[in-house]
Amino acid sequence: MNTDILIERAGAVWTLAFNRPEKRNALTHAMYTALVEALETAAADPDVRAVILTGAGNCFTAGNDLQDFLKNPPLGVDSPVIRFLHAISRFSKPLLAAVPGVAVGIGTTMLLHCDLAWAAPQARFELPFARLALVPEGAASYLLPLAIGAKQASAMLLSGEPLDAPTAAQSGLINGVVEAEALRAHVQAQAERLASLPPQALLQTKALLRAPHRAAIDAALNQEVQAFARQLQSAEARAAMQAFFTRQQPAAPARSEASSPAKSHQENDRS
């Protein structure tokens, strides 16, 4: 069992929680594999009526763990990342999200495949693909303009402009904003309400809602995967990743300019 993905079972509702709060719940290949297995199990189990995605602590997910991501880049259909994107896009049962904080990259694009989503007031939604010399994933190039409009989608995908929680609710990315301490209970109640409805009617309704977009979603997923793989191997992506990791390194201690005990004492007083 991968303890970085917690599975909580409460009656007919499962909650899948990203559980690396010390790493802002950044997703690894092992976590993607665990998520795929959990979604496949939930889809096949008639006793599971709804699934919630959330993050441990005060963060949803900071996106991919880039160190892990670059060791095994998602260049083929067997990649855990690609398998997860297909699993979430085709999940047949109600899928909800409780977003307690930051949702970066795939943390935002996975919400496009959730039927319902709520966020805490401090949540922030950010798609820094272009800044990392990458392209969208998760069919975001198709689904995000549908969800929030073409201009706002362009601002997020081209400029990397984040959305705060109230703006995300107003634009349609999420259903609403709920205070952090009440968020999980609110989404659980919504999931239980759905789970109490006739299951076949619910499954067919979701399928009908998605049917007009199915071919376009599949096409966007495949086109994005191909473009992502090409771009990931490009010179500008290597440069952007190097710049990112350089910024992540702790700064070297500043050299003291003190030339006398008196000057050293004065500088210590300002700290």
Token reading at 71: 């060791």
| Mean pLDDT (the chain, rounded) | 91
Residue with the two structure tokens 């996975």: 110
- Work out the end-to-end distance of the chain between its first and last CA atoms, rounded to an integer number of angstroms: 47
Q: What is the pLDDT of residues 37-55, one digit of tens each?
A: 999 999 999 999 999 999 9
Listed residue (26, 36, 158, 35) closest to 103, CA to CA: 26
Residue with the two structure tokens 């995967």: 225
Average pLDDT over residues 236-240: 92
What's the pLDDT at 253?
Answer: 47
Q: What is the pLDDT of residues 124-165, one digit of tens each?
A: 999 999 999 999 999 999 999 999 999 999 999 999 999 999
DSSP label of 76: S
What's the pLDDT at 260?
Answer: 39
Q: What is the pLDDT of residues 11-43, one digit of tens each?
A: 999 999 999 999 999 999 999 999 999 999 999
Burial label, 86 (beta-carbon count in 10 A; 0-12, 13-18, 19+)? middle
Average pLDDT over residues 180-186: 98
d(CA 229, CA 150): 25
What would the DSSP string read from start to end of 91-153? --S-EEEEE-S-EETHHHHGGGG-SEEEE-TT-EEE--TGGGT----TTHHHHHHHHH-HHHH
Q: In the structure, what pLDDT confidence band is assigned to residue 258 with cuts at 50, 70 and 90?
A: very low
What's the pLDDT at 248?
Answer: 63
What domains can you pick out in the chain, each with its CATH number?
5-248 (3.90.226.10)
SS3 8: strand
- pTM assigned to the model: 0.89
Listed residue (56, 44, 53) closest to 20, CA to CA: 56
What's the pLDDT at 216?
Answer: 98
Average pLDDT over residues 93-109: 98
The total of other beta-carbon atoms located within 10 Å of residue 17's CB is: 19
The pLDDT of residue 220 is above 70: yes
Average pLDDT over residues 244-269: 49
What's the pLDDT at 69?
Answer: 80
The pLDDT of residue 120 is above 70: yes
